[in-house]
Amino acid sequence: MNEFSDIWLKLSYWSLSHKNDLKKWWVIILLAADIFMVVFIVTNFAIYIISMPRESRLMTQMVENQAGYQEYRITGQPQPLDFAEPELISTGSDQADLIVKVRNPNKNWAAGSIKYKFVVNEKETEVEENFIMPDEEKYLTAFSVAKSGSSFNISFITNAITWQRVKDLQKFPQANFKIENIQYTQLSVPERNITVGQVKAQITNDSIYSYWRTDFMAVLLSGNRVVGVSKLIFDEFKSFEKRNIEFRFLSAPSSVSKVSIYPEVNLLDTDNFMK
């Protein structure tokens, strides 16, 4: 206890004897702190003034980049499919086939699934499903649709489209079908008192890939008007295999200026490739 008192007395004596010096140093410390604060504020203000043009440019670039990103997002999205007017092809007194041409304008997007239906005189057909590859043009159809009357109001509705991005279609397996010796003829069926249309051709799977399923569609044209459509399915179409194909049309158009046969293979469906 006495030792503590002695230290305290010594400190008190020293502070009293150096009172003037302590006041001087205290003033110096406060003055240095004030000078430091003034220099700090002035320096930061000067830096702010000098950097204002740069900050302004950065803000402008950020706005421009944001606008560019929004534009990229818009342009990067798939463009809508282009549908022509739907057509009705009468195949008898009470039935008809329906067809519409569709084009995919996108080079990097495939419509992996298109669910659609037709409406004829306010009556809807069953929902069908198909696909369309990038930059492809094809037909969507509905067969043997009941009809009545002599005038028809036809519309086409897409229920849902599932898009699939394709960065480089050339990296996917490429289908290659050689279609030769296409012949269209009319055949009489005396027992039914009708005349049907027939298309024959030879099709070669001229590629290294084999498919579990391949669809083929034959379209008859009279000028620019579709007058007949038929579809066949081949199972297990192997690489470099050649097959004969024969389409039948219940309604035999008397005037056919062109016959087109379209193979349909979904190259994005890996399950369809035979191992």
| Rounded Cα distance, 144 and 252, in Å | 15
What's the half-sphere exposure (Cβ side, CA atoms, 13 Å) at 77? Answer: 7
The share of the chain scoring above pLDDT 90, in percent, equals: 51
pLDDT at 72 over 50: no
pLDDT at 202 over 90: yes
User: Is the separation of the CB atoms in 159 and 116 below 8 Å?
Assistant: yes
* Residue ranges of domains in the chain: 2-75, 78-172, 173-275
pTM: predicted TM-score of the whole model, two decimal places? 0.69
Fold of 173-275: Immunoglobulin-like (2.60.40)
| Rounded Cα distance, 61 and 56, in Å | 9
- Domain 78-172 in CATH 2.60.40.10? The answer is yes
Instruction: Give the model confidence (pLDDT) of 5-52 as tens digits.
Output: 667 666 666 666 666 665 666 677 777 777 878 777 878 777 777 777
pLDDT at 207 over 90: yes
Residue with tokens 């230290």: 7
Instruction: Work out the number of other CB atoms within 10 angstroms of the CB of residue 163.
Output: 13
Instruction: Give the model confidence (pLDDT) of 77-126 as tens digits.
Output: 899 999 999 999 988 778 899 999 999 999 999 999 999 999 998 899 99
User: Is the separation of the CB atoms in 166 and 104 below 8 Å?
Assistant: no
